[in-house]
Amino acid sequence: MSMVFLNGKHLPIEEAKVPVLDRGFIFGDGVYELVPVYARVPFRLDEHLSRLERSLSGVGIRNPYSRAQWREIIFKLVDAQPFEDQGVYFQVTRGVAKRDHAFPKNVEPTVFMMSNPLVNPPKEQVEKGGRAVTAQDNRWLRCDIKSISLIGNCLLRQLSAEAGAAETILFREGKLTEASASNVFVVKGGRIASPAKGNLILPGITYDVVTELAHANGLPLDFRDVTEAEVRNADEIWVTSSSKEVFPIVELDGGKVGEGRPGPLFRRMYDLYQEFKHKVMRAGKREAVSA
């Protein structure tokens, strides 16, 4: 039986219940995080907690815990699971109140946390690469907030799911933003490019790790507008997220990306990422490690 955390208590998932008037249920009024855990060591935990703080303040929900309290709850949950590699999901909603769009006064935020086995793409899948389709990015204009209101992302992800593809890559006004559940990097002529942070993309923790690894290893990386035409003519396309890590897209809307197989810069970044993960695991005991 899987142990979860709800409002101060660690309990079996079957016993975790939320009232139907929770604003997360009624309005999707909340924010969330997903932290990958390798060999029981949370990866980039402080960065995930900083992003949670930014998301909470972005939507005006009080942060119910200090950094130290969040860390303690997460470590306890991780230790309670029978598996080594985990994805710790946690969300904070505005709380339970009579249904009214305006914020209620004096409510306690609802905090829910669970940890599932972490499933990263297996090596064979990484060797083959994946397919993606494209769509217009029709989400709201605060994609920098990691909101639980994910209907836009779900509808867009469904397009690729129905096409049997791994991701839906998004364009807004002719420019690349991100994908339905990951950030996107393209490579052309030996240079890597990705959209700069702003309100149109989620500031990915994996995007930051890839950035640090590129800088530390002399790989040329530019943050700039990337046009739809550039994506369609790229030599390589990568998607990045805490669960996909760095993953190569080798087919876009049915056409080959570059040679139709994972490219050399992808291979280099993939190896650097795996090495870095092992460095973090070796440091163990939840220390911050930089590239």
Ligand X SMILES: Cc1ncc(COP(=O)(O)O)c(C=O)c1O
Q: Does 206 bind ligand X (CB under 6 A)?
A: yes
State the amino acid at position 86 in one-letter form: Q
- Using CB under 6 A, pick the residue from 30, 195, 204, 262 that binds ligand X: 204
Instruction: Identify the helix (H) or strand (E) that includes residue 193.
Output: strand 191-194
For the bound state, the minimum distance from the C-beta of residue 290 to ligand X, rounded and expressed in Å, comes to: 16
What does DSSP assign to residue 13? G
Give yes or no for residue 205 binding ligand X (CB under 6 A): yes
Binding of residue 245 to ligand X (CB under 6 A): no
17 is catalytic: no
> Stretches 61-69, 89-97, 199-207, 226-234: which one binds ligand X (CB under 6 A)?
199-207
β-strand partners of 184: 239
CA dihedral angle for residue 38, residue 39, residue 45, residue 51, rounded to 10 degrees:
30
Which span (57-65, 203-211, 257-265, 272-280) binds ligand X, by CB under 6 A?
203-211
# binding residues, ligand X (CB under 6 A): 13
Rounded Cα distance between 114 and 131, Å, is 30
Which residues sit opposite 117 in a β-bridge? Answer: 86
With CB under 6 A as the contact rule, the residue among 22, 29, 167, 178 that binds ligand X is: 178
Q: Judged by CB under 6 A, does residue 110 bind ligand X? A: no
CA 120 to chain centroid: 13
Q: Minimum CB separation from ligand X for residue 8, in Å?
A: 26
- Could you say which of 9, 76, 146, 244 is catalytic? 146
> For residue 287, what are the contacts with CB-CB under 8 A and spacing of at least 6?
none
Beta pairing, strands 167-172 & 130-136:
parallel
Which residues make up the interface to ligand X (CB under 6 A)? 153, 178, 181-183, 202, 204-207, 240-242
Residues assigned a catalytic role: 146
